[in-house]
Amino acid sequence: MKKVILAWGGGTRLWPVSTEENPKQFISIFSDRSLLQETFARLQKIDWDKDSIYFSSNQKYGDKILQQIGCDKDKLILEPQRKNTAPAIALIVKYLEDVVGCKPEEVILIAPSDHIIAPEGAFIKCVQIAIPEAEKGSIVTFGIAPHTPETWYGYINVEPRTSDAETGLCKVIEYVEKPDLTTAQKYLDSWNYLWNAGIFMFTIKTIKESFAQYCPDLFTSMQWSYSDFLMRFDSLEAISIDCAVMEKASNITMCPMDVTWSDIGSRDAISELLVQQKVVNTNPYLINDDKNNLVFSKRKLIIDAITDSFIILSEAWSYIAKKWNSQALKDSL
């Protein structure tokens, strides 16, 4: 099995802690290791084969990955430009086939670099359960039982009656994009919708067959050599793997994960994890104080008469805002 860590994002929702030049996957939030380093360490524990781990990113972040991981350059699969997740996954497949020499039956695990997952043992168990299912020709996706009507995540609708009692694997009925709040509440109440964790597993053969059926232009492009694919990458349609395949395919299986999970997509998510205390915070510069303020600062700071706020002091910026208004920042950047 090959494991590929996606290190693409620009991290604007966590500005000013995260910036386009230094996005969140490269930042130490809860510990002295960056989210990328935490993900690398977690995937190593699946089979203790670090040589089976690759990194998908764009060219501007290649050096950062090398600095933080210390891997060889041949572990980097770098896009010339951002083209969303479907072309990026096609590039991954081309690299593993043409450069690494992987066979069609090779299983690939795709995992984002900027997620918090605890306990790690539960995640590793899910991955091990999913491998035989992927080998049989399924695209396996991973779901999290929601505890809030979240509008920032996609959802997976599963049929509970098809759940495997031993493995927990479920047949996916519908793969849906981010809902509005009313719809998200309906999903939460139904018990049949799980958050889409953005983690996938499939064989090279399966994903290529899916591209051929649901995204034929991209599949046609995959007949080029790897060097030609890179050279003509900017001509590819920018489309997500969700729109290209996941919302159309019928061979999708969902593996539910009983974990604390977050994609750290907002300051509220960081604050919630600190309150839950299910993720150990050993970062001395990240504090959730007794007045419900989330404070991230490496400078000495005195807080007086401020409540329910984000207080973030970076080297270049100072940011203070009420918690319930924090998401509005992205629209103004």
Instruction: Give the C-alpha separation, 94 to 101, whole Å.
Output: 10
Question: Is the CB of residue 129 less than 8 Å from the CB of residue 255?
Answer: yes
Question: What is the distance, to the nearest Å, from the Cα of residue 166 to the centroid of all Cα atoms in its chain?
Answer: 27
Q: Which two structure tokens, joined as six digits, stand for 255?
A: 């593996």
Q: Is the dihedral of CA 209, 212, 213, 218 positive or negative?
A: positive
Per-residue confidence (pLDDT) for residue 20, from 0 to 100: 75
Instruction: Give the C-alpha separation, 200 to 86, whole Å.
Output: 12
Q: Which two structure tokens, joined as six digits, stand for 282?
A: 């050993």
What letter does residue 162 receive in the DSSP assignment? G
Instruction: Give the C-alpha separation, 329 to 223, whole Å.
Output: 42
Domains in the chain: ranges and CATH: 2-262 (3.90.550.10), 284-332 (no CATH)
Which residues are registered as beta bridge partners of 23?
none
Per-residue confidence (pLDDT) for residue 296, from 0 to 100: 74
Per-residue confidence (pLDDT) for residue 148, from 0 to 100: 86
Per-residue confidence (pLDDT) for residue 285, from 0 to 100: 67
Per-residue confidence (pLDDT) for residue 27, from 0 to 100: 80
Q: Which residues contact 303 (CB under 8 A, 6 or more apart)?
A: 289, 291, 293, 295, 311
Q: What is the pLDDT along the chain (333 residues), one digit of tens a residue?
A: 999 999 987 666 666 666 677 788 898 877 789 999 999 999 999 987 888 999 999 999 999 999 999 999 999 999 998 889 999 999 999 999 999 999 999 999 999 998 989 899 999 999 999 999 999 999 999 999 888 898 888 899 998 756 666 778 999 998 888 899 999 999 999 889 999 999 999 999 999 999 999 999 999 999 999 999 999 999 999 999 999 999 999 999 999 998 988 876 666 667 666 666 567 777 766 777 777 777 777 766 667 667 777 677 666 666 676 776 545 554 444
CB-based contacts of 7-12 (< 8 A; 24+ apart in sequence) = 7/36, 7/55, 7/56, 7/57, 7/61, 7/65, 7/113, 7/114, 8/56, 8/57, 8/58, 8/79, 8/82, 8/88, 9/114, 11/114, 12/330, 12/333
Encoded amino acid at 247, one letter:
E
